[in-house]
Structure 1
Amino acid sequence: MLRVLDLLGDTPALVMSDLGEVLAQNRAGLLVAGDLRGRTGDRRYLAHRWFTEPATRAAHPPEEHDQQARQLVADLRATAGRRSGDEEVTGLIGRLAAASDEFRYRWAEHEVAVRRARARRPRGGPVG
């Protein structure tokens, strides 16, 4: 996996798990976003950071916030469907629902989608 990322040269790239945990980053990705691999607990998961840490949203243009929130929840719902009964998934969903009114609202919309890839426009500072 790292070899493929390294072949991308100066193009920042990372690989994420189906729960939004960064598994690998290339050198350019580290320079642009900082090291996102060493987080622990729920901070490992992008959806958790998005709904609980304002600094994560600040790294994205405001006009993308609604789309990003909807996509994160829809993707998490798809993961929950694939991994039915998985305690890691159900635990994350429960903790997010307890921590965020917005997450609960979006979860109740029942959207399901799978994120395949996403290009991101740079905005000052590291990403969430």
Structure 2
Amino acid sequence: APTNFKTAVAKCLAQTALIMNNEISSFFRWIFERLQASDSSSKEKEKERKLWLLTSLREVFARNQLASSSQTVSNSGPFQQFIPNVLHDLESLLDSMDSSDCFPGILEVLEKIAERYPTEFGER
């Protein structure tokens, strides 16, 4: 599929997650189950799938930042309570990686979390 289509799908997933609001934990669980799963298809397809899932996850935090930019950092919105678990899941993903293919995508997600949730990020 073309890159612009994949980008649109990643953004749709992110928007769906934002609509879920306090039920976002289901979205995070779904994303990380797929990120941890190994696909029997080619390594290249698995890498691409994981990078697009990470793009969607990054987009969730980027859009959450834009949607609630009027809030102060101390009041970081409804996702704040889930950040420790997301950071733990990202750490587990890093530990389970057998190559550095997804490392740039993980760093982009971590960057968005650090921008939006500096206290929670610093505690980890």
Place the TM-score, normalised by the shorter chain, in its bin.
Answer: 0.3 to 0.5
Q: TM-score if structure 1 supplies the norm length?
A: 0.38
Task: Please identify which structure carries the higher strand content.
Answer: 1
Q: State the TM-score, normalizing by the size of structure 2.
A: 0.38
More helix by share: 2
